[in-house]
Homo-oligomer: A and B are copies of this chain.
């Protein structure tokens, strides 16, 4: 069992409705040591890739993206979910459904910050349906840039996101993949990697 699987067993909470709460260390309160261990593991799993930019989506993905960026020494770019007075009209956009918020969001990135030369590592803290990650791959490809990999902290293997993304041929690495969980017995089964 790796450090993240151990942390999930120790501090994660399983709730009815296929919900895994990890807000004590991943997506509300953030354990920065765990983040840095995840970043180090991304470095190991994507070694040899010439990454020019790390792309994530607001909000909680920004933490893992920022810590990873310190290790990869590249800029972070985060896709936004809501228009702001500060974003240019000239943007790449895609639709993403949020399992957490039960709604569709248009997510977008200003065109200025992705170019055909970019080799992009997409990262996020959590993946369920994979809809946000597919939206980000769409945005990278609209820019003519290359998705060199997708790094996820926790993948809910119970849901389809990982399968869909792997079948599309992306290099997806998830540090922990939850294949089964049971709220009544408080047990979690991780996929062997």
Q: Which of A8-59 contact B (CB under 8 A)?
A: 17, 19, 21, 23-25, 27-32, 35-36, 58-59
Complex CA distance for A85 and B58, rounded to whole angstroms? 17
In the assembled complex, A164 has its CB within 8 A of some CB on chain B: no
Complex CA distance for A17 and B78, rounded to whole angstroms? 25
Find out whether the CB atom of B30 lies under 8 angstroms from the CB atom of A80: no
Complex CA distance for A80 and B84, rounded to whole angstroms? 17
In the assembled complex, A2 has its CB within 8 A of some CB on chain B: no
This chain's copy number in the assembly:
2
Within 8 Å by CB of A86, from B19, B32, B69, lies B19
In the assembled complex, A127 has its CB within 8 A of some CB on chain B: no
Chain B residues closer than 8 Å to A21, beta-carbon distance: 86
Question: With A17-B85, A24-B113, A82-B101 in contact, do A29 and B63 touch (Cβ < 8 Å)?
Answer: no
Chain B residues closer than 8 Å to A82, beta-carbon distance: 101
Complex CA distance for A19 and B73, rounded to whole angstroms? 29
Chain B residues closer than 8 Å to A161, beta-carbon distance: none
Q: Which of A79-129 contact B (CB under 8 A)?
A: 80, 82, 84-87, 100-102, 109-110, 112-113
Find out whether the CB atom of A27 lies under 8 angstroms from the CB atom of B86: yes
Complex CA distance for A36 and B67, rounded to whole angstroms? 10
- A32 nearest CB neighbor, chain B only: B69
In the assembled complex, A66 has its CB within 8 A of some CB on chain B: yes
Complex CA distance for A176 and B31, rounded to whole angstroms? 29
Quote the shortest CB–CB distance from A10 to chain B (angstroms). 15
- A17 nearest CB neighbor, chain B only: B85
Find out whether the CB atom of B59 lies under 8 angstroms from the CB atom of A112: no
Q: Which residues of A contact B (CB under 8 A)?
A: 17, 19, 21, 23-25, 27-32, 35-36, 58-60, 62-63, 65-67, 69-70, 73-78, 80, 82, 84-87, 100-102, 109-110, 112-113
